[in-house]
Amino acid sequence: MNYAKTAAEILRGVGGEKNVSSMTHCMTRLRLILKDDQVPKDSEMLKIPGVLRTVRQGGQYQIVIGSQVSHIYDELQKLWNFTAASTDEEAPKSAQKENILSRLFGFIAGCMTPLLPALMGGGMLKVLITLLTALGWISTKGSTYAVLNIMGDAPFYFLPIMLAYTCARRVSVNPILAMCIAGVMLHPNLAALFKAGQAVTFLKLPVTATTYSGSVIPILMMIPLMKYIERFAEKISPDMVKVFLKPMLVLLISAPVALIVVGPLGGIIGGWLATGVTFLYTHAGWLTIMLLAAVFPFIVMTGMHYALFPIALNSIAAMGYDPILMVIMFCSNLAQGAACFGVAVRTKNKTMRQTASAAGVTAIVAGVTEPALYGVTLKLKRPLATACIGSGIAGLFCGIVGARVFAFNATSNVFTLITMIGGGSMKYLIYGLIAMAIALIVSFVGTLLAVRMDDPDMQPETAEETSEAEAAPACKEQPALENKEAQPLQKKFQLSSPLSGYVVPLEKVNDETFASGVMGSGVGIQPADGRVYAPADGTIDCLMDTNHAIGMHTDSGADVLIHIGKDTVNLQGRFFTPHIKTGDTVKQGDLLLECDLAGIRKAGYDTISPVTVTNSADYLEVLSHPEGEVKAGEKLITVLQ
């Protein structure tokens, strides 16, 4: 193959360098992000020598080449200096045609999802604190309670800093500088300036007093804006002093913009919202509570729900009870938790089931809905709609009967029922129980009926979770293997299994490139452990930089590709520990690689691992192990010459 010629034809076929936003490659294919992915014509691309198949997936235009892909990539780099990127704005136009609400939800969910471990941990600590205090095992006046509260509050208090990091990674802004801007907004000295009661200015411009801890919207607005500030700083900074001048300019420009313009905007909007709520409740209380209960998750997303707290505090101080905010939060939080439990019951995805179950407990018991909102309901969309409906109906009931909460609680949960005892009557507790039943039942049942089962997060994440009834017919290659082995005049050699696990026919592998056979004949193995061994004596031709795939040339002449998991190139080497390097000579049974299968699966990747003979066309036939269990070192593939 003429690599330079093939590279030139590929570049011309995809519309030239002006149509390529970024490019990288894995073991077998080029992965391009095109500005317009409608430019390349698949039928024409397949005519290019060396191009085996084209795949459009996940916003990428993938060109399957095979083991020579690194050579083609190198030639393309000589033609134009392409770089890998991960920004959403560089997605193909077809992906950008999604409605703006869907794109916004996707952006928010993408920024928040990496934060789930911290949010879940903090939320479960809140559950523990609530239970310990309710049972009287710890005093709310002791230091143990105070320290536990700090531990539970930390992920939410410092949420802007963590969000700044994930948001920066998503829009290709320096994540450390982004975290610094969030740190400025949370700095205790800034809070002290606000608390002093005197006007705060910067270069005579007013800095509006705003509480940023636990907020989301200021960071989601500010970090994308920093991208343009970084570009400006890059452009005007001379190369000699760029190493320190550029970051200084980014901080010097971004921090005032955040404090003077972007940050206070959320507080101003929150103030307007609070004024509007008071007006609506005065004229139509039942309608106000119903509407706010229904849309409260969206208010939580912006962090503006904190602007409503003064209304509740004023109501309790003046009247001895709050009929608005605490009631709304009670209905909404329970509805979010119930929707999560509906997802947990319906999903076939083990990771989503665990996430939804934990988020449901956190929302109902602790009153913390961020894990539920960002990890489950917003991600799946329909559960969010059913939770809003359930919360709205429960809110309508509360507004009609005049439900009340007699004590302030910043995280309304199931224990809020206790604070509904008051006013010389138990009727408010009964109202609360009925509202709870409405929110839970409507949201749970609605989610069971409405959730889309074809969503990837509702589907099994690995082949081993698929039921036997759904499995395809058993491999038909075994009789051929037996018949061929009975012919003594044919030359043959064996390749042993590099993995222990369950063998499936290659056509059942959930990757069209391997399943179609363009990468050669072989099998798929659902690994039982993370150890990968050499299938024969030979030389390591290629170990991917991301360590997820190994190519080797055996002494018998077969080129073998071992590819761990589907799309695991995106993990960038996480969970993989190689024990060899390119060019090493190995013996059959040598340990090549170790990987953390649990970590890979938890990250959302299928671990089914194709093992193929990429030069199958050079042989009379390549015959595979039948479907079933196999141990590393046992016979896996027979090659007939």
Query: Residues with catalytic annotation?
Result: 26, 563
Indicate the SS3 state at residue 594.
Answer: strand
Q: Which helix (H) or strand (E) holds 525?
A: strand 521-527
From CA 386, how far away is CA 399, in angstroms rounded? 20
Q: Which of 499, 493, 577, 568 is CA-nearest to residue 538?
A: 493
Q: How far apart are CA 184 and CA 180, in angstroms?
A: 6
Residue located via tokens 């905007």: 265
Measured CA to CA, the distance from residue 555 to residue 81 in angstroms comes to 37
For residue 503, report the phi and psi dihedrals to the nearest 5 degrees.
-85, 135
Q: Provide DSSP, 122-150.
A: HHHHHHHHHHHHHTTSS-TTSHHHHHHHH
Q: How far is CA 134 from CA 104, 154, 366, 429, 636, in A?
A: 40, 22, 12, 17, 60
Cβ-based neighbours of 164, under 8 Å, separated by 6 or more: 175, 178, 179, 181, 182, 219, 223
The string of DSSP codes covering 22-65 is EEEE-SSEEEEEES-TTSS-HHHHTTSTT--EEEEETTEEEEE-
Distances (CA, A) of 239 to 35, 233, 247: 30, 11, 13
**Contact of 33 with 59, CB cutoff 8 Å:** yes
